[in-house]
Structure 1
């Protein structure tokens, strides 16, 4: 079986937090570095800065470049290897919008309006009106994936409707236009259900979010981590140090489960339940465990922060590499369509 290709991406939101790390970056690096029994990479990985997608919910672009640099710096620090995986801005590879325009002709507005993920977004964001671009963002996602002939799409279950739209568009294009030599231009990508590890916010909310101010950033120093952990929500019934606790409802304990040694976690659970471990000391232990995890990321990040031109060069190189693949695909598209 040949090497499979995966495209993953994020909107340029600036510095990343632990939720991004556990929910995406760890998986990205694992897929990038996964080897088969012969020592060859299983996946060819591409990492997209989805700056056009960010316009679907906000038209503000004044800080988008700085946010991009901050985000990419965190990607690199967390282990994304630009030699293995091109990193590129969507807006710098114009073939994305070209393919998006073509795909937009192959799907109806009513089909997009039935997208359950879109309905959830409209509800969650209390949107009174939806733009044409927001309605069509699954079509742009389809262009993102298929432009690089993505075979595998790692998604949570809530994103499955988007993969199905991508498959429908690929199928419709192949039926309408056949390449004179290749036949079907696009392979229908397969969804790969991935359990994205969600990390609760410091305030106990379901997830970390910059807008809620409940995050620990990958760039936070050990002192900053300690300071933030002091305010983290624990078991509201454990008022005094010697009160027995309930680790299963404690945000800090959920962090221990992720960042502390398993044997340490077992000890912390026992001591919390018995009342031998107070919340203040538990938070100190947790802050230490998190900072130990972040230490190599911080060290690597500092190298890129002091050399901003290196990050820009990585983007330019990645964009050139992505553009070559994208143009090869679009040449096939144009030839199949007898257009352009």
Structure 2
């Protein structure tokens, strides 16, 4: 089958997803849970994949760090298999229509509705009102603008983002009801679960950039030997038998989940193949699978970051494609709400 280019994708359902660049490297958990699953959607969707660098402003960072992380995020998308010939890849800040539509939607969002967003409530409760910025409060409205701007049919989300997507759907229905059909009301595309990827050092906790210890998290851009050492030191238990039991043997279950996700072999088959062998064999198999995937991924990411001409060209082209769609949406919205149109 010949892969369709971006220009051939008219009529396909549109999918939109953005990744926030708040770390120097993706870790194994967020790669398996999200980015890896963007790639097959390119086959039968008009895919728009962006780096949410405006959203990342809600987290403090030095300007040079922001630049590096944004470009690293884009490079990692490409290294993972996102194809700029089949998908539109762009930086959110390169498309000013995101914030233009966000302001319109903000005027239609009730304060109470915004206040009930779980992530805002959790973070403001954790850090206190004085340490919580207004950008964090309006974050879900900008996310709604991200989605509605491109008339996305489907949005890949995990359960933690479902509430934000419901706000997006509410705003689309509200605007359409007041001003006539304008926005596609997006449907959630719940990503198939690969299982919970746990902290290697504490398998009772999720692998997380913010809460995992350095020994518990597999950074995909680390040297292979660093991650091999972490996997070899992963917490298991005092027994020897390899079986999948998340309650009694969470460390072993986590290693089996990772191995299954990376090899495409079911956990049940892996357990049979490893019967009679020890935890060292399981850890060795996981280390080999992670290395086999992460080595070319890391090399391609660093290649793009080392010579940025190709990366910058891809992002510039993606921004042009994105703006072609986004500007049409904003022009229609402005006309319908009664803003004077500029002379051309």
Runs ≥4 residues deviating over 4 A: 243-247, 260-264
- Counterpart pick for 1:18 among 4, 28, 34: 28
User: 2: distance between equivalents of 1:21 and 1:292?
Assistant: 15
CA RMSD in angstroms, aligned pairs only:
2.4
- Distance in 1 separating the partners of 2:127 and 2:242: 38
Kindly provide the CA deviation profile for residues 166-210 of structure 1, in whole angstroms up to 9, marking residues without a partner as x. Answer: 1121122222224xxxxx111211223334433112213432233
What corresponds to 1:120 in structure 2?
Answer: 122
More moved, 22-31 vs 187-196: 187-196
TM superposition score normalised by structure 1: 0.84
Unaligned runs of 5+ in 2: 1-9
Separation in 1, partners of 2:111, 2:62: 26
**Cα contact 2:50–2:89 (8 A) shared by 1:** yes
1:253 corresponds to = 256
Normalised by the size of structure 2, how large is the TM-score? 0.83
Q: Is the Cα–Cα contact under 8 Å of residues 222 and 288 in structure 1 kept in the other structure? A: no
Structure-2 separation of matches of 1:43 and 1:143: 20
- Contact 2:72 / 2:301 at 8 angstroms: preserved in 1? no
Contact 1:74 1:218 survives alignment (8 Å)? no
Aligned length: 316
- Give the alignment of 1:45-60 within 5 angstroms: 45-58=47-60, 60=62
- SS of the residue corresponding to residue 46 of structure 2 reads strand
CA separation of 1:302 and 1:12: change in aligned 2, threshold 3 A:
closer
Aligned residue for 1:188?
A: 185
* Residue aligning to 2:275: 270
Corresponding residue of 2:282: 282
Structure 1 match to 2:199: 201
**Contact 1:199 1:208 (8 Å CA) reproduced:** yes
Q: How far apart are 1:327 and its partner, in Å? A: 0.7
Question: How much has 1:306 moved relative to structure 2?
Answer: 4.1
Is the Cα–Cα contact under 8 Å of residues 21 and 56 in structure 2 kept in the other structure? yes
Show CA shifts across 1:112-140 (max 9, x none).
112234323444x4444433221111111
SS in 2 for 1:55: helix
**Structure 1: runs of 5 or more not aligned:** 34-41, 179-183
Tell me how far 1:146 sits from its aligned partner. 0.5
Give 1:254 deviation, angstroms: 3.2
Report if the CA contact (8 A) 2:242-2:275 is conserved. Answer: no
Instruction: Tell me how far apart the structure 2 counterparts of residues 264 and 192 of structure 1 sit (CA, whole Å).
Output: 28
Matches within 5 A, 1:1-340: 2-13=11-22, 14-33=24-43, 42-58=44-60, 60-123=62-125, 125-129=126-130, 130-178=132-180, 184-197=181-194, 198-205=196-203, 206-211=205-210, 212=212, 213=214, 214-235=216-237, 237-238=238-239, 243-244=240-241, 247-248=244-245, 249=249, 250=251, 251-260=254-263, 261-262=265-266, 265-267=270-272, 269-271=274-276, 276-277=277-278, 279-340=279-340
More divergent stretch after superposition (58-67 vs 13-22): 58-67
In structure 2, do the counterparts of structure 1 residues 119 and 309 end up closer, same or farther at CA, with 3 Å as the change threshold?
same
**1:246 to partner: Cα distance:** 5.5
Distance 2:61 2:28 in 1: 26
